[in-house]
Amino acid sequence: MDSSKPAKAVKDVVEAAAEKVAGVLTPDVPGAPGSAPPTVEEPTTPHDPLPPKAEQGAPETRTPTGAKTGAPTTANGQQGAFLTTSQGARLRDTDHSLKAGPRGPILLQDHHFREKITHFDHERIPERVVHARGAGAHGLFTAYGTAEKVTKAGFLKKGRETEVFVRFSTVLGSRGSADTVRDTRGFATKFYTDEGTFDLVANNMPVFFIQDAIKFPDIIHAAKPHPDREIPQAQSAHDTFWDFVSLHTEAQHHTMWNMSDRGIPRSYRTMEGFGVHTFRLVNAAGETVLVKFHWKPKLGVHSLTWEEAQLLGGIDPDFHRRDLYDAIEAGAYPEWELGIQVFPDTPEETFAGIDLLDPTKIVPEELAPVQPIGRLTLNRTPTNFFAETEQVAFHLGHLPPGIDVTNDPLLQGRLFSYVDTQLTRLGGPNFSQIPINRPHAPVNDMLRDGFHQHAVHAGVAPYRPNSLDGGNPFPAGDDENAFVDVPVTVAEAPKVRANPVSFDDHYSQVRLFWLSMSPVEKEHIIRAYTFELGKCYHQAIKERQLQSLANIDPVLCAEIATGLGLPAPQPTVPLADVPPSPALSQVGREWPSDGRMVGIVVDPDADLDGVGQVRRAVFAAGMVPLLIAPHGGLVGDLPVQRTFATGRSVEFDVLLLAGASAPAPDAIPAREATAGAADSAAVDPRVLLMVEECWRHAKAIGAWGGGVTVLERAGVAGTPGVVTGDSGAEVFTAVQRLLAAHRVWERFPASVA
């Protein structure tokens, strides 16, 4: 690059590049890397860094102590047109080290070489000890004002808008593991309120494996890969997990949630979130209530099928993060309502006989409805994964005035654990000054120095009381909105290592969950347990878990025992007589389908006008059309997103067939499923496989014109959820209606009622 040339405006560069590829690119389909299309030739005219993509956001530019800077968020990104050292000196060459002659050796004085390599050598930081794999997004929380009576928290006052950052995660896998494994999902939200940051560090399941935080290393050691061989990665289908949960039966409730469809969500956008613990809210008059927090997704709660989850682990291990980013880029902003279940703050801390301090128990919504208090919209993807998603640090102790903790022994332990691990993970005590963690409230602490100190503290008296800094900082009084720990009475009691007796019931709510499932959901639960226990090596562990299952439900136990080839034991405790909670089932309602993926198989000789119309209709419905054709590039003037070789059914929520594509030249029978059967000659075997898989996974399928032939060849014509019509538009409308129920449930056989 010639450093004497003037830098060109970013706008010119982006526009010139866009013009060059106009007509070929499809900016309306999300997923393009970079904010401008690349040119074939290497760009050589100097210009400022390209802006982030339109849907990307970054942490607001605040000082380390919370003040607004007024600078654009890009001020934290790289500046200027020219390559520099970390000190800003322009560099002519970064491809050759400084050597004594062309054949070396390299000279020690080559500062640029040493800086570049040294920094690279230290690029990795420890991944989170749990929840290592995650994806984040920025958004906005708008309060309804409905919580004003029960809390003085300012961000919950009517109409108040608060910036948020959310990180979703799996628990067990390493940072590079697959998204779609069977696991609990984290749902952690940082509200940057002007009264201090509030972190709601939640999961997509309302109960936890353990009742006391001291057991956390035990459950995690049991669930992580075996320490000798370090297998299996990111899954619970192995001996140590089932060894622990069958011995430590308070884990049975959470385990059944994991074995249910909740363990394999369709998308982060279709997950509920639960604060799990009971929290205490306090209003301006000092009155308190106990609450449980719930996130309710606008799109409903939906899951993958087990086969989809497994296929996606290989075909698209990034399925959930891609879905999150693509939905935001497409403008289908993920939304949740925040709700609370409210309970009187009584000395017993129970509600309807349920101990509110026991994190293995729920309070059914039928007993205490979830009352909406605000709306969360995720509308910007991060600009830089490491800076934002990796460095974000949540903590349950980050509470604004008006929200307080309870004595739940799991919650109490978490209050210690997060900051302790973050000291190591983020390399010192100043991680609250990293841009994504900076509060949006004025910070005046007396914490000083330490690694990576960004603040430049003035004054000489970081202690209290002082007179040398004029007494600053001052304690806030009652009228100055101080955080006040609610003066809850702690009952006089001996110091013991013991649980309340109410924590001893390990089975009644697991049975409640089981009885609340529809037949198809029960079937999935049976298959999940049978698979996971079937992967265990030792029979003793399977037998022990069967005993717990017998204590939950005899039918459940018998079905799984049959699959394992073992006798079903008799219950050792009376079966609980509990009414089901219909709110726990995912089946039987209709939901919006924003941001869903519509696969459209195109035959180059087929009705391309019709395909163009359907494509526009899919966009208009807030969904994303992906055209699948025998080859890449264009079909007519329509851009192709997947070929028969690169597309697979699991990427789509519904499938439309616009033609009957004959086998493409690359459909050579090979030793893989996509090569299809020998008698599939008239239709490309990969298209037939897509149809078969979509049918098996109970997805809606539509066809018109030549596409109807494909349905016939696949043997699915006329079956439930397979629609045909005269035009693509008509077929799409029918398929969209089916998608509202997420799946064509009647296609799933169920062996249990």
The footprint of ligand HEM (CB under 6 A) covers 128-131, 134, 167, 169, 186, 188, 201-203, 208, 213, 216, 276, 359, 392-394, 410, 413-414, 417-418, 421-422, 425
State in angstroms the smallest separation of the CB of 151 from ligand HEM. 21
Cα torsion 211, 212, 218, 220: sign: positive
Q: Which is nearer to ligand HEM, 417 or 466 (CB)?
A: 417
Name the minimum Å distance from CB 281 to ligand HEM: 18
Find the shortest distance in angstroms from Cβ 169 to ligand HEM.
5
CB-based burial, 215-234: b 16+ in 10 Å, e otherwise: bbeebbebbbbeeeeeebeb
Least distance in angstroms from the C-beta of 260 to ligand HEM: 17
β partners of residue 196: 194
Cis peptide bond prior to 364, omega within 30° of 0:
no
By C-beta, is 252 or 736 nearer to ligand HEM?
252
Alpha-carbon distance of 536 to 518, in angstroms, equals: 28
C-beta of 134 vs 374, nearer to ligand HEM: 134
CB of 243 to ligand HEM, least distance (A): 20
Residue 363 structure tokens:
């309070």
Tell me the closest approach of the beta carbon of residue 425 to ligand HEM, in angstroms: 5
Residue 445 and residue 65: Cα distance in Å, rounded? 9
Q: Which of 131, 302, 320, 398 is catalytic?
A: 131
Distance CA 739, CA 700 (A): 7
Q: Is 294 a catalytic residue?
A: no
Question: Mapping DSSP to helix (H, G, I), strand (E, B) and coil, where does residue 94 land?
Answer: coil
What is the distance between the alpha carbons of residues 229 and 27, in angstroms, rounded to a whole number? 46
Structure tokens at 327: 């939905």
Nearer to ligand HEM, 130 or 667 (CB): 130
Cα separation, 1 vs 8, whole angstroms: 13
Active site residue 407: no
- Determine the 3-state secondary structure of 650 from DSSP: helix
Name which of 132 and 510 has its Cβ closer to ligand HEM.
Answer: 132
β-sheet bridge partners, residue 83: none
The catalytic position among 203, 258, 430, 551 is 203
Q: Which is nearer to ligand HEM, 185 or 642 (CB)?
A: 185
Q: Identify which of residues 333 and 418 has a Cβ nearer to ligand HEM in the complex.
A: 418
Q: Which residues pair with 327 in a beta bridge?
A: none
Task: State the Cα–Cα distance between residues 373 and 383, nearest whole angstrom.
Answer: 30
CB of 184 vs ligand HEM, minimal distance in Å: 8
d(C-alpha 185, C-alpha 171), whole Å: 6
DSSP line for 444-508 = -------TT------SS--SSS-STTTTPSPPP-GGGT------PPPPP----S---GGGG--SH
Dihedral of alpha carbons 658, 659, 664, 669, sign: positive
Active-site positions read 131, 203
